[in-house]
Amino acid sequence: MSLNIPGQEKTPPGAEALFSWMLGEIASVFPRRVVLIAACDLLGPYSILGIDGEPESIKRRCVELEALRPSARLVDLDVYAVGGVQVDRAALGLPSRTCLLCNERAVDCIRSKRHAFEQTIGKVHELLAPFRA
């Protein structure tokens, strides 16, 4: 689990609270998870969890968690099967993540620089607003 915050500031106000909230949601969905690593680097906080089960099923649950509320869009819940093979949305026939600002594929908007940087950062701060103390 990690945050997906565009720009240089990877832990703007509310980001750590969002991260903690998602850890709580994960705990409720996967009560037998094991925290293998909990750390912070230049990209912000991250955790690596061990969850016993079918990787495809776990990924589907993670996609549901990423959609619980608009702010959860800023969280990445990556799932890896034994052997280090990533289970992504495409492998499950699920659509790619959409852009923070429009309904296009996020990767397309990023590559084409479709939106002004200030617009994107403004949306990030809007999404984090419910998590600011």
* SS (HEC) of 91-127: HHCCCCCECCCCCCEHHHHHHHCCCCHHHHHHHHHHH
Instruction: State the distance between the two ends of the chain, measured CA to CA, in whole angstroms.
Output: 22
Instruction: For 59-71, give the secondary structure using H, E and C.
Output: HHHHHHHHCCCHH
In this structure, what are the phi and psi dihedrals at residue 79, rounded to the nearest 5 degrees? -125, 135
82-101 pLDDT per residue, tens: 999 999 999 999 999 999 99
Question: Residue 133: pLDDT band by 50, 70, 90 thresholds?
Answer: confident
Tell me the residue type at 112. S
Average pLDDT over residues 94-118: 94
Cα–Cα distance measured from residue 116 to residue 19, given in angstroms and rounded to the nearest whole number: 26
Largest CA distance in the chain: 42
pLDDT above 80 (res 29): yes
Sort 62 into a burial class: Cβ within 10 Å, 0-12 / 13-18 / 19+. Answer: buried
Average pLDDT over residues 2-23: 96
Radius of gyration of the chain (CA): 15
